[in-house]
Structure 1
């Protein structure tokens, strides 16, 4: 663990936290092209930096995107998601992609819901076994 370059250090903590996020377009409309996904990749990466987080992986299809984000414990997932969705919606609309204007109206790019799953590190069963094997004092 000491030699793992992915482990990050805060002032009073050592951490390695990842979250898998999935955002779906409003009404599940198929609006994304490669050009839009490339723009979103840049926007998400920059927004993550504002939270001292790192966009580790990104990809998507025509109606949804997947993000893998390494984030510090001081950041709540909900505030990270709100910023990622809000900034990306505003920035993509400012770029005036015609495919989005035709299929979505108003100011919403994203559905209000999202998926967030914690990931990384050892599986739960392994952690549970490790904790159970601790030598409890008598």
Structure 2
């Protein structure tokens, strides 16, 4: 569950629904890649002011429900997630790099929307779950630690 984040001069509860497709919309997510993705995201939580409330895959893309602070733009959050997860997935799962012809892991684009006034976390969580055909929830943590 998200909570208000209290900083020295502001209080926020900023959550984003982010969708990142794999390059060429390739089916690259399997159990090993899912495990690496989850582990890297949980490591990101330890080093940055980003909290992963939910992570789920659907063969060729990943959906995140993320909470962060106001000093992090959506672009910064997406860039952080893309760069660190791609590097570690390629390092720990070399077969993925081969299936993507040695190129990039993520597409250049992404989808991001805010979660707030017109929908709550549970509604967005259900929406994320009901997208696609074979959604696999990899991580769910609704207990927010203060940054």
TM-score tier, shorter chain, comes to: 0.7 to 0.9
In structure 1, how many angstroms separate the alpha carbons of the residues matched to 2:85 and 2:67?
A: 18
Instruction: After TM superposition, give the deviation of residue 77 of structure 1 in Å.
Output: 1.0
Unmatched tracts of structure 2, length 5 or more: 120-147
Larger Rg: 1
**TM-score normalised according to structure 1 size:** 0.79
Tell me, yes or no, if the aligned pair for 1:36 and 1:97 is still in contact at 8 Å. Answer: no
User: Which residue of 2 is the match for residue 67 of structure 1?
Assistant: 64
Tell me, yes or no, if the aligned pair for 2:33 and 2:93 is still in contact at 8 Å. Answer: no
User: Which residue of 1 is the match for residue 75 of structure 2?
Assistant: 78
Q: For the structure 1 residues 93 and 84, does the alpha-carbon distance in structure 2 shift closer, same or farther, using more than 3 Å as the test?
A: same
The match for 1:15 among 12, 27, 34 is: 12
- Give RMSD over aligned pairs: 1.8
Q: For the structure 1 residues 12 and 107, does the alpha-carbon distance in structure 2 shift closer, same or farther, using more than 3 Å as the test?
A: same
Secondary structure of the residue aligned to 1:58 is: strand
Where relative contact order (Cα < 8 A, 6+ residues apart) is larger, the structure is 2
Residue deviations 1:63-113 (CA, integer Å, cap 9, x gap): 100011110001111011111101111100001342x13420234000000
Tell me, yes or no, if the aligned pair for 2:36 and 2:92 is still in contact at 8 Å. Answer: no
User: Which residue of 2 is the match for residue 106 of structure 1?
Assistant: 102
In structure 1, how many angstroms separate the alpha carbons of the residues matched to 2:45 and 2:6?
A: 17
Unmatched tracts of structure 1, length 5 or more: 125-138
Tell me, yes or no, if the aligned pair for 1:8 and 1:15 is still in contact at 8 Å. Answer: yes
- Structure 1 runs, 4 residues or longer, greater than 3 Å off: none
Alignment of 1:123 with 2:118, yes or no, is yes
In structure 2, how many angstroms separate the alpha carbons of the residues matched to 1:108 and 1:64?
A: 14
In structure 2, how many angstroms separate the alpha carbons of the residues matched to 1:90 and 1:24?
A: 16
Which stretch shows the higher mean deviation, 44-53 or 71-80?
Answer: 44-53
